[in-house]
Structures are given as C-alpha cells and as structure tokens.
Amino acid sequence: MYRACRKGAKLALLDASSELKMARETLVKIEYFQEEAHPKKVVQMCELYNAGKRLAMWHCANHCSIGRYCGHEFIEMIPTLAGMQLLGAIDDVALTKHNLVQVLRDGRITRDELPIIDSILNKCHEFTRAAIALELEKEKTALRAAK
C-alpha cells in the first residue's frame, strides 16, 4: 500500500525519500515490509502522497501493533455495498435503541443482559465499518477528481 500510494502520487522513489527525509533504502524496506514505518512517517506519507486517511487506516490495521491489538480494521468495499450495509444498519437503529433502553432502564447491566449488549455492540461495529468504508470511497473519489 505504501508503494501503491507513492506511485499513485506519481512520485519517484528518490523524490519521495528526499521529501520524507529518509534514506532511499529505508523507504524501499518500508514499501516491501522489511522495516516498520514510524507513525509520524506514515502521516508524512499520507500528506506527501495525497493519500488521505486511507493509508493511515491501512497502516493501523495491518502494521501497527496497537492498531492490531485494539482490533482496528481496514475494509475496502465497493460504494454500493458500503451504502447497502449502512442502510441495513440504519434500519436496525430503532430496534437497537429500544434494546439498549431496556437494558439500561434500571441503571445496571445484569449477566443475562450481556448477550443483548454484545448484539448492540456488534450492530454499532457494523454501522461504523460501513460508514468508514463509504467515507474512504468518498475520499478516493475526491482525490481522483483533484488530479
């Protein structure tokens, strides 16, 4: 992904390494996953390559130990699928809200309510994944239009 974003920005390896203030060999190692990119360098790449959040999110999901530990996901999907998933999640909002109100009305979560909480959290994660996928598609479209 690092290399693809650099090439998408039409930057030669030497030019990119110079702008990023790193040795050409270091950038090659990062692009071929032989060396881990420091988060500050990933942010610089995002800006230099005009890659938006896409590169940073991919990095966090695939190469950042904290991102992997926290379960960060990077999901690319076609806009239609992302939109359909988002619509499906929106359809479930009323029921999810009702279930959450039922669980929280007494001010505590009981052991038998844990599966309901899991279901609510799964719905929230579905909504978030679909929204992020749609946001990434929007960002890619804006970047293509800017070129």
Helical H runs in 20-78? Answer: 24-31, 39-48, 52-62, 65-69
What would the pLDDT profile of 108-121 be if each residue is shown by its tens digit? 899 999 999 999 89
Residues present in the chain in total:
147
From residue 46, how far is each of 16, 20, 37, 96, 107 by CA, in Å?
12, 11, 12, 36, 44
At residue 147 the predicted structure's pLDDT band, cuts being 50, 70 and 90, is low
- Residue 125: pLDDT band with limits 50, 70, 90: confident
Taking only the tens place, the pLDDT of each residue in 26-85 is: 999 999 989 889 889 999 999 999 887 778 888 888 777 777 777 666 666 666 776 777
Q: What is the pLDDT of residues 90-107, one digit of tens each?
A: 777 888 889 999 999 999
pTM exceeds 0.95 for this model: no
Residue 64's pLDDT is 78
Residue 72 pLDDT: 66
Identify whether the C-beta of residue 73 lies closer than 8 Å to the C-beta of residue 61.
Answer: yes
Whether 138 shows a pLDDT value over 70: the answer reads: yes
